[in-house]
């Protein structure tokens, strides 16, 4: 598991106890809006929307917020024009960074992201400068396997559904990896075994990683990633850094 993935998992668990519900809810509402705009407002026929709603419910987004977000793309409520954009750049240590956004003002978003990258020793790049380093893949997150079940059962179900691999390097979360085109099928196959799926999504995975070895660079990089993720228009941030677990934890303190 890359350093970015380890950092994201630790940060997510820590954020559960932080007072950041408002910002989190806003991002989830935006994901519902863009998912509905891209594939229709009926969750039964729109897998991306269905996943966005399930994630939002799991994080406690009220049902009325979910319905309001869907209505913004169905003509039943006041609309919100959101555009999905991907920005690319470099962070401290030359780390590659991809930033996926949903925005109603691309000029504002680009200016804000450029400012954040510059502030922490990075820079915003041209389209295509780092995206070639990443591959889109499907990821299904599963909690630790209960004692009454075994990993072999999970592996067989996942492979039967079309999965490529299972990552068990994180003791708290098991990640099933697959081609994005079969994500829904793999999730259904796992669900039939009784294993609890915590999340299913597409994500950008780096083909190679850049090793970070000093605490000053690590601290600047993690502060940059945190600032980028906290921006209102940001939906997902991906990078290709890797670092020792002890350095990762020390730099997050």
Residue 2 to residue 8: CA distance in whole angstroms: 10
**What's the CATH architecture for 3-71?**
Orthogonal Bundle (1.10)
Residue 38 to residue 59: CA distance in whole angstroms: 23
What is the per-residue pLDDT for 17?
47
Class of domain 133-206 as given by CATH: alpha beta
Residue 139: strand pairing partners = 177, 201
Domain 84-126+209-252 identical in fold to domain 133-206 = yes
- DSSP 3-state of 146: coil
**Sign (positive or negative) of CA dihedral 229, 113, 80, 52:** negative
Residue 238 to residue 200: CA distance in whole angstroms: 16
pLDDT tens column, 82-130: 889 999 999 999 999 999 999 999 999 999 999 999 999 999 999 999 9
DSSP state of 76: S
Instruction: Return the domain boundaries, the chain.
Output: 3-71, 84-126+209-252, 133-206
Cα–Cα distance list, 60 to 16, 17, 49 (Å)? 11, 13, 16
Residue 163 to residue 209: CA distance in whole angstroms: 23
What is the per-residue pLDDT for 91?
97
CATH of 84-126+209-252, one of 2.60.120.260, 3.30.70.980, 3.30.420.40, 3.40.50.970: 3.30.70.980
- Check whether 8 has a pLDDT greater than 80: no
Report residue 108 as tokens.
């504002």
Sequence-ordered strand ranges (E) for the chain: 83-90, 96-103, 123-124, 134-143, 165-167, 173-178, 197-206, 210-211, 234-239, 241-242
């Amino acid at each position: 598991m890359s350093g970015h993935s380890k950092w994201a998992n630790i940060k997510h668990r820590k954020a559960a106890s932080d007072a950041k519900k408002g910002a989190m809810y806003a991002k989830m509402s935006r994901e519902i809006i863009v998912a509905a705009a891209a594939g229709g407002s009926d969750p039964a026929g729109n897998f991306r929307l269905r996943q966005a709603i399930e994630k939002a419910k799991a994080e406690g987004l009220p049902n009325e917020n979910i319905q309001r977000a869907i209505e913004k793309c169905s003509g039943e409520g006041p609309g919100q024009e959101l555009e999905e954009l991907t920005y690319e750049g470099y962070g401290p240590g030359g780390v590659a960074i991809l930033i996926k956004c949903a925005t109603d003002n691309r000029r504002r978003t680009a200016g804000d992201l450029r400012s954040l990258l510059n502030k922490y020793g990075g820079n915003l790049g041209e389209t295509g400068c780092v995206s070639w380093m990443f591959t889109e893949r499907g990821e299904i997150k599963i909690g630790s396997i209960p004692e009454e079940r075994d990993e072999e059962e999970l592996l067989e179900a996942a492979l039967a559904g079309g999965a490529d691999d299972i990552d068990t390097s994180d003791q708290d979360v098991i990640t099933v990896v697959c081609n994005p085109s079969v994500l829904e099928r793999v999730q259904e196959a796992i669900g039939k075994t009784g294993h609890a799926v915590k999340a299913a999504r597409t994500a950008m995975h780096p083909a190679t990683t850049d090793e970070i070895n000093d605490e000053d660079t690590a601290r600047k990089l993690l502060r940059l990633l945190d600032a980028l993720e906290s921006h209102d228009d940001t939906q997902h941030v991906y990078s290709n850094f890797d670092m020792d677990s002890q350095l990762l934890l020390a730099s997050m303190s």
